[in-house]
């Protein structure tokens, strides 16, 4: 009985060693891949989450102004007209007319 337990324990330990070796191999592969990726990324320029500069700031201000105007328009419609159909129509029209309004307000010369 003791011999059988020792053999089973030895088999379990052998299987555990095989699984641990496989895990170590996978971890080593992941580390090599991460090292290659870090090496490539260190040579690339850093990208910002949003554009910086004078033109980008001006564009953000213009888009913000357009959205603010449309929001004010929709709030006025919401206050003046109690019908849901008028409110929904104003929201749809403002979404469709936003690019046209933006182009008319901030036309490039």
Nearest to 76 by CA among 91, 66, 64: 91
User: Are residues 42 and 60 both part of a single domain?
Assistant: no
User: Are residues 42 and 64 both part of a single domain?
Assistant: no
User: Are residues 41 and 61 both part of a single domain?
Assistant: no
Cα 45 to the chain's mean position, in Å?
A: 20
> 35-65, pLDDT tens digit by residue?
999 999 888 888 778 888 899 999 999 999 9
Host domain of residue 8: 1-47
* The total number of structural domains that make up the chain: 2
User: Are residues 28 and 62 both part of a single domain?
Assistant: no
User: Are residues 29 and 4 both part of a single domain?
Assistant: yes
Which letter does DSSP use for residue 106 in this model? T
pLDDT below 70 — which residues of the chain? 109
User: Are residues 27 and 62 both part of a single domain?
Assistant: no
pLDDT of residue 19: 94
User: Are residues 30 and 67 both part of a single domain?
Assistant: no
């Amino acid at each position: 009985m003791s011999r059988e337990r020792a053999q089973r324990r030895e088999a379990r330990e052998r299987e555990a060693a095989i699984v641990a070796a496989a895990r170590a191999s996978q971890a080593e592969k992941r580390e090599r891949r991460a090292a290659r990726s870090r090496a490539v990324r260190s040579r690339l320029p850093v990208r910002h989450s949003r554009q910086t500069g004078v033109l980008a700031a001006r564009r953000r201000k213009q888009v913000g102004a357009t959205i603010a105007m449309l929001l004010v328009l929709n709030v006025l419609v919401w206050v003046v007209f109690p019908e849901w159909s008028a409110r929904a129509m104003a929201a749809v029209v403002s979404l469709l007319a936003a690019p046209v309004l933006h182009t008319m307000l901030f036309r490039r010369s």
